[in-house]
Structures are given as C-alpha cells and as structure tokens.
Amino acid sequence: MERSLEQLVFGALGAALLAREKLEQTGGQLQDWQREAQQRGEAFFAQALERGSAERDALKGSLRQLVAELVDELGLATREDLQRLEERLLAARRDA
C-alpha cells in the first residue's frame, strides 16, 4: 500500500513536471509566433505606406496634368499669364 501511494505521488509529480515543460514549450512557441506576427505586420504596414505614397504621387501628377489641360481648354489665365500682365501694367504706368 505504501509503495502504491509512493508511486501515485511520484506519478503525479512526474505528470505535473511534464505538463509544466509542455506549457513552457508552448509558451515559447507562442512568443515566437507573436514576434513573427508582429514583424510581418510591421513589414506589411511599411509596404502599405510605401505603396500609398507612390499612389499619392501618381494621383497628384495625374490631377496636375488634368487641371493644366482644363485651364488650357477653358482659356483660363495661369499664374504666369497674370504675372506677365502685372509686369505690362507696371511698365505702362512707368511710361505714362
């Protein structure tokens, strides 16, 4: 009986130690997985920012071109046109 009780105690102790080791392994694996997931997330976010910036620049260029075409098509005065007109008016005032 005493031997059976001793075996039961040591068996329970062994099982507890095995369970602890398994939990430590699993915890380490979870930490590794978490680090990898964080690195993948950071890489994805950096890539998304880079892609968004490139798309923004492309869109900005397209919009500038479209606005320039519309200004030309509608015959609107540009900043340069207004600057030249201002210079002509100032020159006319000086001459008068």
pLDDT digits (tens, 9 = 90+) for 8-17: 777 887 888 8
b/e 28-43 (16+ beta carbons within 10 angstroms → b) = eeeeeeeeeeeeeeee
User: Residue 40: its pLDDT value, please?
Assistant: 94
The answer to whether the pTM exceeds 0.75 is: no
Name the CA dihedral angle for 71, 76, 77, 78, rounded to a multiple of 10 degrees. -10
Does the pLDDT of residue 35 top 80, yes or no?
yes
> Any idea where the domains of the chain sit in the sequence?
2-95
Residue 1 DSSP one-character state: -
Work out the mean pLDDT of the chain and round it to a whole number.
88
User: Residue 17: its pLDDT value, please?
Assistant: 81
Rounded Cα distance between 37 and 67, Å, is 44
Rounded Cα distance between 42 and 32, Å, is 15
Contact predicate 71/78, CB 8 Å: yes
- What percent of the chain has pLDDT above 90? 54
Once rounded to an integer, what is the mean pLDDT over residues 16-21? 83
Other C-beta atoms within 10 Å of 71: how many? 13
Rounded Cα distance between 63 and 15, Å, is 70
